């Protein structure tokens, strides 16, 4: 959809959403209660506006979260000003959703994605056709920076490059490749949230997350042949390009990605702000500088403007869930509920770290089936659980919550990647989940067990 097709009010809300994130980033370097209050008020406006457009299920969840949060604040006699700041609590996470796509916008504007597609086409014409393996690899790599956009982009590249493939099998394979990034990429919202919740640096859990990702890769490979949809015809690309295509260089693409990733880790190490803030700043500054240097600033500016105007329409569900969850989580922090929940889970697990770990992951998977977004679960448990009470490090609980989020979204009919895969393969979300259930449950068990082994060995 083009931004001009939207109502001016919705386009304005897109501008408001970006203004909110900019004020949030500025406040990190120039601390001001006025700035906090301002972007929190903007968050409240976006929440109310999003409530008008979201599905009934999300409306119920949003209403309950705001109601419970408000009751907690009233019971604890918290001031109105503090209560309003709750609507800005998750602005950091929304910043990732809004700003990281700027990286993909620049890559598209500069022709990097087109060059990548052309390279894939050339390899296919030379007989190097491995559509399933290639699609997984592309998603697991470019997905680190392009997030949800990588699913549709990789699907298009393979469709235009490979002579034949099974559509549904390919799409599910791409969706699983996307999950590879969710255990470690600092550009993903779940990683950013967990780093903030436990006040960790990416270096505290990054290597462990990468290790779990390669276990995830192995399980994906073992389960690939078990993908079997009842009606999955083999698509053939009869219009496969055979004309001479200029040989594009991927060097600019690799240089840009390398600089982006290198600066992310260096600045995370140097600056006092967290990785989430670092990648948001880089998503704004680096593409802009690169666009000037490569002389595509005019086209990039136009594409960014359209992206800004479309942002509210595309992210209305994320606005409702994340803002209301942040408000609820902030309200909980002023009560004793966190301590009660921590003691309750401790009693259920009987002090066993493994039972605790398995319970958290299973809890997230079950709730995700009824539309409760993992962000609600992670904020609730992350704010409530005391790692010291269970005799573990914050890094351990952080990894368990990453596993819970990753596996829950692989088999939730409401998760972004399942809904996108469902649309791309023209299959119902329920059928997608049926194909992914055994994969996700085995994944949950193996990754949880691997993390527990690291704990037993004293490595984390």
- The residue behind tokens 């290790």 is 211
Q: Reply yes or no on whether the pLDDT at 54 is more than 60.
A: yes
323 with 404, same domain: the answer is no
Q: Reply yes or no on whether the pLDDT at 242 is more than 50.
A: no
Give the least confident one: 9-23, 108-122, 334-348.
Answer: 334-348
At residue 4, the pLDDT reads: 65
Tell me the β-bridge partners of 166: 234
Choice between 182 and 119, residue whose per-residue pLDDT is larger = 182
Q: Reply yes or no on whether the pLDDT at 241 is more than 70.
A: no
Q: How many domains does the chain have?
A: 2
Q: Reply yes or no on whether the pLDDT at 250 is more than 50.
A: yes
Structure tokens at 270: 């140097």
At residue 403, the pLDDT reads: 96
13 with 36, same domain: the answer is yes
9 with 104, same domain: the answer is no
Q: Please compute the mean of the pLDDT values over residues 83-106 and round it to a whole number.
A: 92
240 with 354, same domain: the answer is yes
Q: Reply yes or no on whether the pLDDT at 337 is more than 80.
A: no
Q: Reply yes or no on whether the pLDDT at 244 is more than 70.
A: no
Give the least confident one: 82-91, 224-233, 369-378.
Answer: 369-378
Closest of 124, 141, 138, 35 to residue 88, by C-alpha: 35
167 with 100, same domain: the answer is yes
Q: Please compute the mean of the pLDDT values over residues 73-80 and round it to a whole number.
A: 92
CA distances 357 to 77, 147, 331, 404, Å, are 35, 27, 25, 9
303 with 237, same domain: the answer is no
* Euclidean distance between CA atoms 210 and 275, whole angstroms: 16
* Euclidean distance between CA atoms 407 and 368, whole angstroms: 10
Confidence of residue 169 (pLDDT cuts 50, 70, 90): very high
109 with 82, same domain: the answer is no
Alpha helices in 126-201 (DSSP H): 131-146, 149-161, 167-181, 189-197
Domain final residue pick, 334, 354, 383:
334
pTM of the model: 0.84
pLDDT tens-digit readout, 419-458:
888 888 888 888 899 899 999 999 999 999 999 999 999 8
206 with 185, same domain: the answer is yes
Choice between 254 and 333, residue whose per-residue pLDDT is larger = 254
Domain final residue pick, 334, 354, 382:
334
Characterize the bridge pairing of strands 164-166 and 234-236: antiparallel
> Of the ranges 114-118, 161-165, 247-251, 253-257, which is most confident?
253-257
At residue 243, the pLDDT reads: 44
Q: Please compute the mean of the pLDDT values over residues 405-420 and round it to a whole number.
A: 86
At residue 245, the pLDDT reads: 53
> Mean pLDDT score of the chain, rounded to an integer?
88
Helices (H) and strands (E) in the chain, counts: 21, 2
364 with 288, same domain: the answer is yes
Choice between 92 and 291, residue whose per-residue pLDDT is larger = 291
421 with 443, same domain: the answer is yes
DSSP states of 311-346 as a string? HHHHHHHHHHHHHHHHHHHHHHTTSSHHHHHHHHHH
Confidence of residue 416 (pLDDT cuts 50, 70, 90): confident
pLDDT tens-digit readout, 13-33:
999 999 999 999 999 888 899
Percent residues over pLDDT 90 in the chain: 52
Structure tokens at 237: 């690309």
* Euclidean distance between CA atoms 91 and 318, whole angstroms: 11
At residue 128, the pLDDT reads: 58
pLDDT tens-digit readout, 202-240:
999 999 999 999 999 999 999 998 888 877 777 776 554
Full residue range of the structural domain in which residue 3 is found: 1-88+296-334
300 with 388, same domain: the answer is no
Give 301's contacts (C-beta < 8 A, 6+ positions apart). 291
48 with 125, same domain: the answer is no
Structure tokens at 231: 């009606």
- The residue behind tokens 């509920």 is 337
Q: Please compute the mean of the pLDDT values over residues 394-404 and round it to a whole number.
A: 95
């Amino acid at each position: 959809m083009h931004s001009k097709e939207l109502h001016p009010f919705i386009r304005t809300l897109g501008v408001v959403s970006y203004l909110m994130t900019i004020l949030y980033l500025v406040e990190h370097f120039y601390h001001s209660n006025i700035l906090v209050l301002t972007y929190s008020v903007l968050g409240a406006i976006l929440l109310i506006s999003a409530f008008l457009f979201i599905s009934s299920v999300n409306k119920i969840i949003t209403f309950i979260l705001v109601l419970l949060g408000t009751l907690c604040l009233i019971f604890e006699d918290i001031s109105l000003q503090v209560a309003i700041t709750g609507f800005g609590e998750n602005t950091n996470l929304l910043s990732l959703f809004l700003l990281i796509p700027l990286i993909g916008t620049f890559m598209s504007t500069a022709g990097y994605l087109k060059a990548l597609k052309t390279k894939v086409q050339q390899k296919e014409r030379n007989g190097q056709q491995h559509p399933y393996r290639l699609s997984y690899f592309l998603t697991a790599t470019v997905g680190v920076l392009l997030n949800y956009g990588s699913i549709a982009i990789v699907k298009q590249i393979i469709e235009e490059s490979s002579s034949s493939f099974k559509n549904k099998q390919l799409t599910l394979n791409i969706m699983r490749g996307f999950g590879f990034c969710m255990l470690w990429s600092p550009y993903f919202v779940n990683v950013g949230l967990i780093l903030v919740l436990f006040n960790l640096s990416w270096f505290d859990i990054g290597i462990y997350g990468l290790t779990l990702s390669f276990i995830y890769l192995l399980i994906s490979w073992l389960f690939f042949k078990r993908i079997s949809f009842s009606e999955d015809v083999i698509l053939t690309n009869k219009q496969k390009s055979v004309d001479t295509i200029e040989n594009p260089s991927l060097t600019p693409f690799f240089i840009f990605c390398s600089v982006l990733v290198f600066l992310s880790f260096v600045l995370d190490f140097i600056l006092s702000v967290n990785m989430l803030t670092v990648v948001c700043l880089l998503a704004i500054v680096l593409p802009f500088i690169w666009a000037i240097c490569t002389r595509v600033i005019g086209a990039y500016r136009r594409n960014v403007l359209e992206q800004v105007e479309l942002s509210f329409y595309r992210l209305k569900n994320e606005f409702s869930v994340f803002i209301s969850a942040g408000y609820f989580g902030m309200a909980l922090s002023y009560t004793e509920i966190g301590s009660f929940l921590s003691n309750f889970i401790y009693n259920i697990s009987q002090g066993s770290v493994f039972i605790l770990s398995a319970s958290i992951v299973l809890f997230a998977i079950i709730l995700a089936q009824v539309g409760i977004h993992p962000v609600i679960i992670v904020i609730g448990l992350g704010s409530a659980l005391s790692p010291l009470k269970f005799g573990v490090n914050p890094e351990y609980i952080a990894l368990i919550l990453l596993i819970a989020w990753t596996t829950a979204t692989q088999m939730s009919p409401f998760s972004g990647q399942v809904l996108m895969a469902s649309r791309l393969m023209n299959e119902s979300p329920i059928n997608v989940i049926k194909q992914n259930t055994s994969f996700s449950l085995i994944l949950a068990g193996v990754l949880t067990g691997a993390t527990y082994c690291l704990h037993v060995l004293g490595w984390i």
